[in-house]
């Protein structure tokens, strides 16, 4: 899902200017998306073990995004192998971003900047601008700077290359406008309240995993924070018996009943 927030805008921007065919557009998009998915998995595959770039606070969109956007732009611009590698080197200047910005406007800005900076990198490479073409794997390059020895999963980059594609697993479309882990929480609450007479105002305590790696906004002061706040998401879903765009509006975020119920929702990692 996150891959498309930088690959697609970059592809549309360059493809529209060059008036490329649909086939050319799709080839560039699929290749760039696949590379991005593999690089993301290689960088952050240890996440399930409580390790990896995400657990240290990096936001993977900011790490992979500029490179991925540069790749799709470079392919549409028909750069040769050295030109594509140089574009990645230039794009590496823009690599960065931290998970702490989740739940703020800056989170989405990361995707926008990645797309923009990637396109810029490809255009600069086409014009003769230089960068190290081996920025990914060389000593003191991106991988060595981000990952301790043994953490980067090289197999993820090459296993099944050319025979299996990330797109085959159909991109997930979130049913609710909230951070990914919250969607299962919302489903659970809706399953609980449907067909029952539970009065949310009589609920004394709700224990739920706050998922502190992503849903770490205990309050919900605005629509950006609301989708990353477990207390708000659970309380709003219990009271409104739904969670959609309406629950991200100011009148719902500041509803006194929701605010009161939020105080009775507790973190339970178990």
Question: Tell me: the pLDDT tens digits for 157-196?
Answer: 999 988 888 888 866 788 999 999 999 999 999 998 987 8
Percent of the chain that is helix, strand, coil (3-state, to 5): 60, 5, 40
Rounded average pLDDT over 237-254: 95
Q: What is the DSSP letter of 136?
A: T
End-to-end CA distance of the chain: 27
Is 96 a residue whose pLDDT tops 90?
A: yes
Whether pLDDT at 9 is above 80: yes
Q: In sequence order, what are the beta bridge partners of 208?
A: 267
Is residue 130 within 8 A of residue 79, CB to CB? The reply is: no
Average pLDDT of the residues in 223-233: 96
Distance, in Å, from the CA atom of 225 to the CA atom of 214, rounded to the nearest integer, reads 11
Q: According to the model, what pLDDT value does residue 170 have?
A: 64
Query: Residue 208's closest CA among 267, 264, 261, 263?
Result: 267
Alpha helices, H only, 98-153: 105-126, 142-146
Overall size of the chain counted in residues: 270
Q: What is the pLDDT of residue 1?
A: 62
- Residue 98's SS3 state is strand
pLDDT for the residue 143:
95
Of 82-86, 133-137, 170-174, 200-204, give the lowest mean pLDDT range: 170-174
The reported pLDDT for the residue numbered 70 is: 98
Res 51 pLDDT > 90: no
* CB-count burial class (<10 Å; 0-12, 13-18, 19+) for 234: buried
The continuous run of DSSP H or E covering 187 comes out as helix 180-193
Q: Which of 10-19, 42-51, 215-224, 235-244 has the least mean pLDDT?
A: 42-51
34 has pLDDT over 90: yes
pLDDT band at 232 (very low <50, low <70, confident <90, very high): very high
When pLDDT is averaged across residues 216-228 and rounded to a whole number, the result is: 94
Looking at residue 38, what is its pLDDT? 94
Q: Is 127 exposed, middle or buried (0-12, 13-18, 19+ CB in 10 A)?
A: exposed
Range 17-25 average pLDDT:
97
Residue 259 CB: number of other CB atoms within 10 A? 15
Kindly tell me the burial class for residue 82, based on how many C-beta atoms sit within 10 Å of its own C-beta (0-12, 13-18, 19 or more). Answer: exposed
pLDDT, position 222: 95
The pLDDT assigned to 50 comes to 82
Cβ of 230: how many Cβ atoms within 10 Å?
28
Mean pLDDT of 3-10: 95
Please report which helix (H) or strand (E) contains residue 267, including its range: strand 265-267
The answer to whether residue 8 scores a pLDDT higher than 80 is yes
């Amino acid at each position: 899902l996150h891959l498309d927030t930088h690959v697609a805008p970059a592809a549309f921007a360059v493809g529209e200017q060059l008036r490329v065919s649909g086939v050319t557009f799709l080839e560039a998009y699929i290749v760039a998306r696949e590379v991005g998915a593999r690089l993301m998995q290689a960088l952050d595959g240890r996440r399930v073990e409580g390790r990896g770039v995400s657990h240290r606070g990096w936001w993977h969109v900011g790490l992979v995004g500029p490179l991925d956007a540069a790749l799709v732009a470079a392919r549409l611009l028909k750069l040769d192998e050295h030109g594509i590698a140089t574009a990645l080197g230039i794009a590496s200047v823009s690599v960065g971003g931290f998970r702490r910005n989740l739940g703020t406007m800056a989170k989405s800005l990361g995707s926008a900047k990645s797309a923009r900076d990637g396109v810029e990198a490809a255009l600069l490479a086409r014009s003769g601008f230089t960068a190290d073409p081996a920025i990914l794997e060389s000593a003191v390059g991106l991988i060595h700077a981000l990952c301790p020895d043994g953490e980067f999963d090289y197999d993820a980059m090459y296993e099944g290359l050319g025979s299996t594609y990330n797109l085959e697993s159909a991109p997930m479309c979130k049913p609710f406008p909230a951070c990914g882990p919250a969607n299962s929480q919302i489903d659970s609450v809706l399953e609980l309240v449907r067909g029952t007479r539970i009065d949310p105002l009589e609920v004394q305590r709700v224990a739920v995993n706050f998922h502190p790696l992503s849903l770490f906004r205990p309050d919900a002061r605005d629509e950006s924070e609301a989708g990353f706040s477990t207390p708000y998401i659970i309380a709003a879903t219990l009271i409104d018996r739904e969670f959609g765009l309406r629950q991200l509006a100011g009148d719902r975020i500041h509803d006194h009943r929701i605010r009161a119920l939020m105080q009775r929702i507790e973190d339970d990692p178990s």
